[in-house]
Amino acid sequence: MNDDDPLPLSALQHWAYCPRQCGLIYVEQAFDDNVHTLRGQAVHAQADRPGFEMRRGLRVERALPLFSDRLGLVGKADTVEFELDGTPYPVEYKHGSRSKAAAIGACDDLQLAAQALCLEEMTGSTVPEGALFYAGSQRRRVVAIDVKLRQAVADAASAVRAMLAEGRVPPPTPDERRCSACSLRDRCQPKALARLATGGNDDLFNPGDDSAAECLP
């Protein structure tokens, strides 16, 4: 991916969750699946089918392509509900429960806000809020697209572009809780890199005591 290409909306969510995860995907073009990513794909299977329907008098678009020339973003919204006055209301589908830790949920908020800013540029209508639908709890969580969140989208886009321009993958996140569910954990090797960073690498590349080799035929 070149640093002047439009950024996928999902890159902002990856960056917010873990800059190294974002770098592995968009700098090194690496990605692996695990049970969490497969569950996410299953949740998106229906929403990713392009089309529209009328629901409670509202027009609902699925898999709607999005772009923002101003921010250099491109992607698609799982679902956009259009209010009677034409105001778009994006709804992003996620697996799991809406009772996520606040710091993790904020990553989803950022992706939703990026969709909202794309819709504003595309339609000329202000998008004051959207919602995240969590398959695990079958509940929505409404997100206000406020000034702080709008700035966070712009800041994340700038940070991802700077990473691409530099062409280097950032170090692992210090929040080890984010590593447990990450499908790229084996590629990332956060614990090994943390030991190298602190100088505790004396036995990192030594599989065992030399005396053990003398027992081999």
What does the pLDDT look like over 75-129, one tens digit per residue? Answer: 999 999 999 999 999 999 987 777 778 888 999 999 999 999 999 999 999 999 9
Which overall architecture, per CATH, does domain 7-215 show? Answer: Alpha-Beta Complex (3.90)
pLDDT band at 197 (very low <50, low <70, confident <90, very high): low
Percentage of the residues of the chain whose pLDDT score is greater than 90: 53
3-state SS string over 62-102? Answer: EEEEEEECCCCEEEEEEEEEECCCCCEEEEEEECCCCCCCH
Across the range 138-158, mean pLDDT stands at: 96
- Residue with the bigger pLDDT between 159 and 138: it is 159
Is it the case that residue 194 has pLDDT exceeding 70? Answer: no
What pLDDT score does 136 carry? 80
Three-state SS at 152: helix
User: What is the crossing angle of helices 19-26 and 9-17, to 10°?
Assistant: 140
pLDDT of residue 2: 61
> What pLDDT score was predicted for residue 109?
96
Three-state helix/strand/coil letters over 31-55: CCCCHHHHHHHHHHHHHCCCEEEEE
Beta bridge partners of 79: 62, 91
* pLDDT on residue 209: 44
Rounded to the nearest integer, the mean pLDDT of the chain is 83
